[in-house]
Amino acid sequence: MSQCFTELASDAQRLNHNIRPIDDCACGEELLYGERVQVTEVPVLTCQCLWRRYQRAAEAIVAPNGVLIADPVARNRAINAAYARLWLHDSRFQWAGLAAFASKQVGCGLLHAAQSIERIREEYEARQRLRDSRRESGLLTPEKMPGQAEDLREYQQAQARNPLSVMDARVPGEELSVAEQQFRHVYEMMAMGNTTLFLDVYPLHQFYAVRGLAELKKCLRDREKIQGHAKWPVLWPVGQATLKFGYVRPEIEMAFEAIDAGSVAESVEHLAWHEQRNILQPTIYENSHLVALLRGNHFSYVTNFPSGVAQAIELTLTSQCQRVDDGRTIDFDSSPLADLSDIDQRMEFVLRAASRFDLLLNDSNKALLAQSIREIALREEG
């Protein structure tokens, strides 16, 4: 096993026992029931203490020093690496190994959206420069022609790089075009879902890895109680109204019971249902705007109209974004009417990917997958 978690003093301390010898505890006089008595304050390790520490450990990955990594792509790389380290730490955490690839694929989507926004912006700015140049030049003279020709050439190049050029529109007074707004919405929602899921599942794995199944089950219902503390606020991007933090779902307990029993593939299925139904469905897939954009993207990809705009919905079990044709790329659906927001359609895809991952881990491809996971673990800094 590799080093995955930062060692904490609580790792060696007993649950619901004092963490400091009584003789070392502060003793003072207090008024109790009308009498002065000597009171010794004894700190005790509780379930909430543990959850707070493991939650902070997860937060430190996406928000070092309490500041959320502003760039969603960089934050995604940190999440990918953390998932990869979980699997490298303990291969029974097979869901985490699969999640390293799935989260990497989210990062590919973030890059696609960011690049699309950049190309739209570049074309708009080049067009503005061309218009300004023509407006300022007035009467076209031979000495002004080279400058305008250069502006025109830059605009044509930017236009060629933007596949949405002829289909986009910009509402007067709006800073972003319609297409930019759509890509931005997808970008922000994907980043929020990626971060929220990580903050939910990573502490669960750390708790189990350090404290074991019995204490995890004993403490599960105390996790939600750490939310709302004024002194130690919990980072929860989606907000309580959309998704209640730390709410106990049966899939969580079943997943770690399966891990403990050695039923690794079964644990992946339980965590996949938790991930998709309990976390991502309310967090992103019930957002009607995102659903419409995802359906449009898939239709565009399958029909190739408009050409070069859409990105495939697929999972590639490598450290790269590019698909491979050796069985390590799992496609969503070839029907143009397929709907990723539909939990049943999405789970069919997810479970098919989980089954393929399990199969490849148990044949000659294991070393190849392990190498890809190691590459993801090392790619945190870009």
Q: Output the pLDDT for position 145.
A: 57
> Can you tell me the distance from the alpha carbon of 66 to that of 235, in angstroms, rounded to the nearest whole number?
9
3 φ, ψ (degrees, to nearest 5): -70, 125
Distant-in-sequence, close-in-space partners of 251: CB < 8 Å, separation ≥ 6: 270, 271, 273, 274, 277, 278
| Residues in the chain with pLDDT values less than 50 | 1, 139-140, 165-167, 299, 303, 305-307, 381-382
**Helix (H) and strand (E) counts in the chain:** 11, 4
Using DSSP's 3-state secondary structure scheme, residue 44 falls into strand
Residue 150 lies in a domain: no
- What's the domain range around 359? 70-116+177-378
For 187-232, the pLDDT digits (tens) are 899 999 999 999 999 999 999 999 999 999 999 999 999 999 888 8
Residue 51 lies in a domain: no
Question: Which neighbouring-strand residues pair with 315?
Answer: 330
Q: Output the pLDDT for position 117.
A: 66
> Can you tell me the distance from the alpha carbon of 75 to that of 186, in angstroms, rounded to the nearest whole number?
16
Residue 271 near residue 197 (C-beta atoms within 8 A):
no
Q: Output the pLDDT for position 335.
A: 85
Q: Output the pLDDT for position 306.
A: 47
Residue 11 lies in a domain: no
Q: Which two tokens stand for residue 175?
A: 């800073």
Residue 122 lies in a domain: no
Residue 308 lies in a domain: yes
Residue 102 lies in a domain: yes
Residue 203 lies in a domain: yes
303 φ, ψ (degrees, to nearest 5): -90, -10
Residue 88 lies in a domain: yes
Angle separating helix axes 264-273 and 250-261, nearest 10 degrees:
170
CA distances from 285 to 162, 199, 266, 314 (A): 28, 18, 25, 17
In total, how many domains does the chain have? 1
Kind and range of the H or E element at 40?
Answer: strand 35-40
Per-residue b/e over 166-194, b at no fewer than 16 CB within 10 Å? eebebeeeeebbebbbbbebbbebbbbbb
For the full predicted model, state whether its pTM sits above 0.85: no
